[in-house]
Amino acid sequence: MGRRASSQVNRSTCTRAVNAELQTESKPQSRADPSVEEEVVVVGGGIAGLSTALALHRMGIKSLVLESAPGPRDSGAAIALWRNAWRALDVLGVGEKLRHDYILLDRVQLCTKKGKVVREFGLDEVKGGPHEYRGVHRSALLKVLASELPEGTVRYGTSVQQVLPLDGGQGTELILGGGERLSAKVVIGCDGTKSAVARHLALPQPNYAGYSAIRGVANFPNGHNQKSAVRQIWGAGVRAGTYPMNRTDVYWFTVFNSPEEEPCPSCGRHGTEAAGAGLGRGWGGDILNIIRATPAEATTRSDIRDRWTLPKPVGGQSTWGRGSVTVAGDAAHPMTPNLGQGGCAALEDAVVLARELAKAKVSNDTKTSQNGHRADKSTSLDPQAVEDVLRRYERERIPRAAKLTVQSWVYGTLLQIGFPPVTFARDNVVVPYLFQPDHWLDHTLYDCGELPTS
Ligand SMILES: Cc1cc2nc3c(=O)[nH]c(=O)nc-3n(C[C@H](O)[C@H](O)[C@H](O)COP(=O)(O)OP(=O)(O)OC[C@H]3O[C@@H](n4cnc5c(N)ncnc54)[C@H](O)[C@@H]3O)c2cc1C
């Protein structure tokens, strides 16, 4: 599968400047404390962090997750999970815990902004089925992942401020908020688009894509009347979408061209205001009613950013990791949400990373660490082997993430075109008569593989 993805990346003809070469990092001072306290520290307890910790746990590798938020997140609207994500969740052993609470979406409706459906198709018409597509509450996904971790795995209210290499190159020191220091054999940065770990690795800052999104979940206590379909509504430089999640909740989003970090034009920062002002003017169908059924505090605005990474290492050097430090999820591959794949790809990362890291496990059970403590057999990693397996993980994941990032950007750029002749042709010719959904979900056919049982 990795080989297939890699060849597809190399075929990409997009001309956008690729900002991927590792910048030279001003050499941080290394510390002379040789005792490594933790085997694996995962920085960030979002989708990437918790799924990575769970995958490691399934492989008998203990980890400590450091999360800056004071407790489990209960906001963040919804996330669409496609077949590749469900596959990863099943490998992690939690797919069934979520699946039954959420509707299986089986149709797609492409609409003009007035609400006219110009193209509708079933997911069973898309090649590679059966497809699985459900929108789940982010908080529910995080809760399910965390519930399978041994107690004490996640340390909330702990922010990583700085990442430093330990002398001798076998381990990393983390400086936490409040000045506490912690050392680890392996550090995995799952700390999102503003990642401190990515900064330590001198990864380039993500680029603004030119548009922002507002999203929310509307609640209809007596039930909604939505079909099990995802609806996309396309205007000029602004679009929206909805899908039902369960009997009472409907997810919606709007995406609009906007200067970076500007409030959306004439509508303030919240979706409910957006519905009442310029953003949704002239929209038909029930999108505005759905948006209005959402309290302002249940909406989120995000400026959309991504980072393009070369699918092959530059000068033999990985574009993601170095030494015993690597990244996963948005810290590794921030991408635009147009394919709905950022979180799905984070789940894939977790499985591949744990499978590789397990190859560095030390087999004897009497290993003694340098500070004299007996290390637990199930969590002991060979520091010599760690770097190799991390680079193998990166080689497997970088081409996959690079392809998703570019494809998502292209899709978003086309959909955000605001030039009326182009949108007229889209709504009246391209979508109703030329668009074929056959290969629409090829990117969700990726299989992250299993976690070996021994
Ligand atoms: C509008 C929009 C819609 C989207 N829709 C979808 C979709 O439908 N499907 C999909 O798959 N993806 C979607 N995505 C992408 C998806 O949200 C992300 O890819 C996913 O949340 C990434 O998870 P993560 O754990 O890598 O990062 P995050 O969710 O950002 O989690 C990072 C965590 O690290 C913590 N942290 C940060 N810095 C530190 C630090 N220094 N120390 C300790 N902790 C730290 C944060 O508090 C946070 O909990 C969407 C994104 C957007 C913006």
pLDDT in tens, the chain (454 residues): 332 333 333 323 232 333 333 333 334 444 444 455 899 999 999 999 999 999 999 999 999 999 999 999 876 689 999 999 999 999 999 999 999 999 999 999 999 988 899 999 999 999 999 999 999 999 999 999 999 999 999 999 999 999 998 876 679 999 999 899 999 999 999 999 999 999 999 999 999 999 999 889 999 999 999 999 999 999 889 999 999 999 999 999 999 998 887 655 444 445 555 554 457 778 888 888 898 888 877 888 889 999 998 877 767 777 899 999 999 999 999 999 999 999 999 999 999 999 999 999 996 554 444 444 444 444 689 988 999 999 999 999 999 999 999 999 999 999 999 899 999 999 999 999 999 999 999 999 999 999 998 6
CA 76 to centroid of ligand 1, rounded, Å: 9
Atom 2 in ligand 1: which residue has the minimum CA distance? 337
39 residue type, one letter: E
Atom of ligand 1 nearest to the CA of 78: 8
3-class SS of residue 30: coil
- Measure the CA–CA gap between 407 and 148, rounded to whole angstroms: 33
C-alpha distances in angstroms, 440 versus 44, 230, 443? 32, 14, 8
- The CA-CA-CA angle for residues 429, 435, 438, to 5°, reads 170
CA 331 to centroid of ligand 1, rounded, Å: 9
Q: Ligand 1, from 67, 74, 172, 239: best to mutate by most atoms within 8 Å of Cβ? A: 67
- Measure the CA–CA gap between 38 and 428, rounded to whole angstroms: 60
Phi then psi for 357, rounded to 5 degrees?
A: -65, -30
pLDDT at residue 371 in the model? 43
- Pairing outcome for strands 107-112 and 229-234: parallel
Atom 21 in ligand 1: which residue has the minimum CA distance? 343
Query: Do 200 and 252 contact (CB within 8 A), yes or no?
Result: no
pLDDT at residue 285 in the model? 84
pLDDT at residue 108 in the model? 97
Please give the sequence-ordered ranges of beta strands (E in DSSP) within 151-298, or none if there are none.
Answer: 154-155, 160-165, 172-176, 181-189, 207-219, 229-234, 238-244, 249-257
Q: What confidence tens digit (pLDDT) does each residue in 325-375 have?
A: 999 999 999 999 999 999 999 999 999 999 999 999 996 554 444 444 444
The residue assigned the tokens 């597509």 is 133
Query: Do 127 and 438 contact (CB within 8 A), yes or no?
Result: yes
Report all structural domains of the chain as residue ranges with CATH numbers, in order of start: 1-71+156-206+307-414 (3.50.50.60), 103-137+207-305+419-449 (3.30.9.30)
Beta bridge partners of 155: 66
- Measure the CA–CA gap between 254 and 213, rounded to whole angstroms: 6
CA 38 to centroid of ligand 1, rounded, Å: 25
Q: Could you tell me the sign of the dihedral formed by the alpha carbons of 30, 33, 36, 38, in that order? A: negative
- The CA-CA-CA angle for residues 10, 14, 17, to 5°, reads 100
**Residue 177 CB neighbour total at 10 angstroms:** 12
CA 123 to centroid of ligand 1, rounded, Å: 27
CA 427 to centroid of ligand 1, rounded, Å: 33
- Pairing outcome for strands 229-234 and 299-306: unpaired
pLDDT at residue 309 in the model? 87
Cis amide bond preceding 130, omega within 30: yes
**Residue 215 CB neighbour total at 10 angstroms:** 24
CA 49 to centroid of ligand 1, rounded, Å: 10
- Measure the CA–CA gap between 58 and 179, rounded to whole angstroms: 32
pLDDT at residue 272 in the model? 54
396 Cβ closer than 6 Å to some ligand 1 atom:
no
pLDDT at residue 191 in the model? 98
64 Cβ closer than 6 Å to some ligand 1 atom:
no
343 Cβ closer than 6 Å to some ligand 1 atom:
yes
DSSP state, residue 431: I
pLDDT at residue 49 in the model? 98
Atom 17 in ligand 1: which residue has the minimum CA distance? 343
- Pairing outcome for strands 172-176 and 160-165: antiparallel
C-alpha closest to that of 290 among 319, 321, 253: 253
CA 272 to centroid of ligand 1, rounded, Å: 23
CB-based contacts of 404, cutoff 8 Å, min separation 6: 333, 335, 339, 341, 345, 443
- The CA-CA-CA angle for residues 358, 151, 85, to 5°, reads 55
Report the run of H or E that residue 121 belongs to, with start and end: strand 117-122
In this structure, what token pair is assigned to residue 369? 């660490």
